[in-house]
Amino acid sequence: MPVSDRANERNVLAERLAGAVREAGTLARSFDRPLKMWTKGHDSPVTEVDIAVDRLLRARLSDQASDIGWLSEESEDDRARLHARRLWIVDPIDGTRALVAGRSDWSISAALVEDGRPVIAALAAPAEGNFFFAVAGQGATCNGVPLAANSGANLDGARIAGPRTHVARLRQLHPQIVVEPRVHSLALRLARVAQGRIDAAFVSSNSRDWDLAAADLLVHEAQGALTTLTGEAPAYNRHEPVHQPLVAAGRPRHRALLALVHERQTEFR
């Protein structure tokens, strides 16, 4: 396919993704309370909202004639995706417990991945009135305003969010960091790094593709970095969509954090 045709197709897919995620945000906020809820797996909550948003996004994004695969937290994993060069990766509700509790820090996260890396991303935080969007090479925005991760490498006073065990160990290594309150949606935690609301975020092991793909592109396009503790970028659409511990920050501070934890990586598993 000529370069111009690929660019045109990507623009069409970007518009489709943005429209679908915005519509999903409206749908998610339309449900009466109390929400119907049950559990799956290891006591992970699921609500009627998760399922409805999953169905809407699949209906809007999937195409019977398309070569684009599908991976969602709330859909059965079709391993045919492993043979797809392109894949929609979706978390219908990231932060379901926050949604159920009436908090605002939940999100709807979706991305298009090509050859293992995200190229289009949309993340809606409907209860906060925020819509994040990014296309590879075109920057990231929130409600149309360009995003930039906080610059600088100084860790004194750096505002860092993450699992309690991770930030506790960080404070042992560098007591001057500031621990931010928990953000229930992992995707939204990372988006806040892209937004500059926090300086850095840590992710524990066992996060999934759907937790990360959209926020990964947002951070990258906001001139930040999201990598493993040894500096490798996450790869998506592998046989098991599970990831190692990760850290996100503006690039100079990201390098400083990798250097800080270099000798203590096993303590962040």
Is the CA virtual torsion 151, 154, 158, 160 positive or negative?
Answer: positive
For domain 3-145, give the fold.
Fructose-1,6-Bisphosphatase; Chain A, domain 1 (3.30.540)
In this prediction, residue 2 has a pLDDT band, given cuts at 50, 70 and 90, of low
pLDDT, average across residues 109-136: 97
pLDDT, tens only, 48-104: 999 999 999 999 998 765 789 999 999 988 899 999 999 999 999 999 999 999 999
The pLDDT of residue 43: 77
| Mean pLDDT taken over the chain | 94
pLDDT, tens only, 197-234: 999 999 999 899 999 999 999 999 999 999 999 999 99
CA dist., res. 73 & res. 207, Å (int): 11
List the domain boundaries for the chain: 3-145, 159-268
pLDDT, tens only, 155-168: 999 999 999 999 99
pLDDT, tens only, 35-62: 999 998 777 899 999 999 999 999 999 8
159-268 has which CATH code? 3.40.190.80
